[in-house]
A and B are shown apart, each in its own frame.
Chain A
Amino acid sequence: QSALTQPPSASGSPGQSVTISCTGTSSDVGGYNYVSWYQQHPGKAPKLMISEVSKRPSGVPDRFSGSKSGNTASLTVSGLQAEDEADYYCSSYTGSNNPYVVFGGGTKLTVL
């Protein structure tokens, strides 16, 4: 099972929108609606931002949204703010117990 594919970097100016893609296969992203997105600031633990493709946990701003089309999931951050600058990782259930979950390589989001 290979890692999911994310662009290494993305950027946008404050107030703009940016979309980060996460490409897998029909065995993971395309096969199940268990795609999650995590935000990680330097030196900190990851934080869940989106679960089950598009569900936003309590406390996560509605500027963050998720979607999926075929084997590619996407995270959109609207109205970019300085505090959104972080690494973002996607993950997907694989339908297997080895590995149970596969992660993307991460995308460094820079707020210009």
Chain B
Amino acid sequence: EVQLVESGGGLVQPGGSLRLSCAASGFTFSSYWMSWVRQAPGKGLEWVANIKQDGGEKYYVDSVKGRFTISRDNAKNSLYLQMNSLRAEDTAVYYCARTLMATIHYWGQGTLVTVSS
């Protein structure tokens, strides 16, 4: 059974940093592109970033470029999102997602990031 379990969310002040983690199991992690998708409270979904199987390609939505960094450790079956210079508009539930052909076949349960003073 595919499982994606996020952790690392919480309350952080504007300008602060947070690192999200996603532990993957039930599939060959190193064989898939992985993504982070977020959902602001009461709002729709927004793709944030994705990373190739070997970590050699990474892409970001404009609003987080230069502030967020996606990475992965295939030996640990883990995906990460380092978030710096956080803003109020980054407040959202962040989902870890297994991606294939622009489709998210599996989602984690999400972790809430709240940016507030």
Partner of A46 from B60, B61, B102, B107 at Cβ < 8 Å: B107
A-B contact count (CB 8 A): 66
Binds A, one of B10-18, B21-29, B42-50, B84-92: B42-50
With A46-B107, A51-B105 as known contacts, state yes or no: A91 contacts B45, CB within 8 Å.
Answer: yes
Which of B35, B44, B65 has the largest number of chain A CB atoms within 10 A?
Answer: B44
Instruction: Report the bound CA distance from A8 to B65 in whole Å.
Output: 30
Instruction: Report the bound CA distance from A93 to B110 in whole Å.
Output: 22
Residues of B within 8 A of A (CB): 35, 44-47, 50, 59-62, 65, 95, 101-110
* Chain B hits for A24, CB < 8 A: none
With A98-B59, A98-B60 as known contacts, state yes or no: A48 contacts B44, CB within 8 Å.
Answer: no
Q: Is the CB of B59 within 8 A of A89?
A: no
* Chain B hits for A32, CB < 8 A: 102
Partner of A48 from B50, B61, B104 at Cβ < 8 Å: B104
A105 to chain B minimum Cβ distance, whole angstroms, is: 5
Q: Is the CB of B44 within 8 A of A100?
A: no
Closest to A36 in B: B103
* Chain A hits for B95, CB < 8 A: 45-46
Partner of B62 from A34, A46, A98, A102 at Cβ < 8 Å: A98
Q: Does A3 contact B (CB under 8 A)?
A: yes
Instruction: Report the bound CA distance from A92 to B101 in whole Å.
Output: 10
Instruction: Report the bound CA distance from A31 to B45 in whole Å.
Output: 21
Partner of A45 from B35, B44, B60, B109 at Cβ < 8 Å: B109
* Chain B hits for A102, CB < 8 A: 47
Instruction: Report the bound CA distance from A52 to B103 in whole Å.
Output: 8
Q: Given A98-B59, A106-B45, 7 more contacts at CB 8 Å?
A: A34-B101, A38-B45, A48-B103, A48-B105, A51-B101, A51-B105, A102-B47
7 sampled A-B residue pairs with Cβ under 8 A: A34-B102, A38-B45, A45-B95, A99-B61, A103-B46, A105-B44, A106-B45
